[in-house]
Amino acid sequence: MRRSRVLDNIQQGLPSFGVALHLASASMYEMTSLLGFDAIWVDMEHHGLSLEHAEQLFRASRVGDIDIVARPAKGEFMRMSRLLEIGATGIMYPRCNSAEEAAEVVKWAKFPPMGQRGCDAAGPDASYQLTPLNDYLKQANERTFVIIQIEEAEAVDRAEEIAAVPGVDMLMLGPGDFSILSGVPGQFDHPKVVDALERVAAAATKAGKHWAATCGSPEIIQKMADRGGSLMFHGCDQAFVKQGLESVRGQIEKNTGRKFNTANNSSLSEGE
């Protein structure tokens, strides 16, 4: 079973850096893995990616040395084992509100004695039956990780209890949903969001665990790394493509004087 790049970095005292990929393109996964990033965040909570398609994308990522961090939806415990079986290295579990729920995540993500994950041992995570069973069970527990995402005020209050659950490797504030639920949507520098991040990071550190973060800029990545973050994500392919296209469009408009009639502008003008 392949080693986790993120966990190897943690053992060496190094931070890890990743990006989210929303475009269901195997070429994008392959290219990202070859560029040297540590992890790809695959969001299956919000996007319509099937397990069958995800398996092909995960396979493409294995051309390079990169971890897949897959996020199922809240309560999708059975799906977690399937994500691990098709090659995910980490599970990012959203909207966890209690230590009991975190323990349930560990139960389904880890084999005994840490949990009660069911065993198939025939997929890519077991090198298609090429890894001896006892080695596979041990390596699967040691080379995969569980990130518990905290996104509600009550969960922040219970962050220390959640972090203390055996088998939980990292905590991560979900700033988007937390800001919305706290009445300050998208205001990631608001005192409520900043305080929540600090409390989540402190809870993880107190429990001897690690913490992850989403970062809105390379500068914030550096700031989070300096504060002790173990895994930082910045941006997504969809946003990068949009920014690139907008930049090209802007240059054309500047150089030629032509103004593009965007889809949004068209719909607005039609509604007037």
Residue 87 is part of a domain; what is its CATH number? 3.20.20.60
Give pLDDT tens digits for 127-151.
999 999 999 999 999 999 999 999 9
Q: Tally the domains of the chain.
A: 1
pLDDT band at 264 (very low <50, low <70, confident <90, very high): low
Residue 261 belongs to some domain of the structure:
no
Residue 172 belongs to some domain of the structure:
yes
Residue 155 belongs to some domain of the structure:
yes
In single-letter form, the type of residue at position 160 comes to E
d(CA 195, CA 68): 29
Provide the domain limits for residue 124: 5-237
Residue 262 belongs to some domain of the structure:
no
Give pLDDT tens digits for 169-218.
999 999 999 999 999 999 999 999 999 999 999 999 999 999 999 999 98
Residue 267 belongs to some domain of the structure:
no
Residue 247 belongs to some domain of the structure:
no
Residue 190 belongs to some domain of the structure:
yes
Task: For the chain, give the mean pLDDT.
Answer: 94
Give pLDDT tens digits for 215-250.
999 899 999 999 999 999 999 999 999 999 999 999
Residue 252 belongs to some domain of the structure:
no
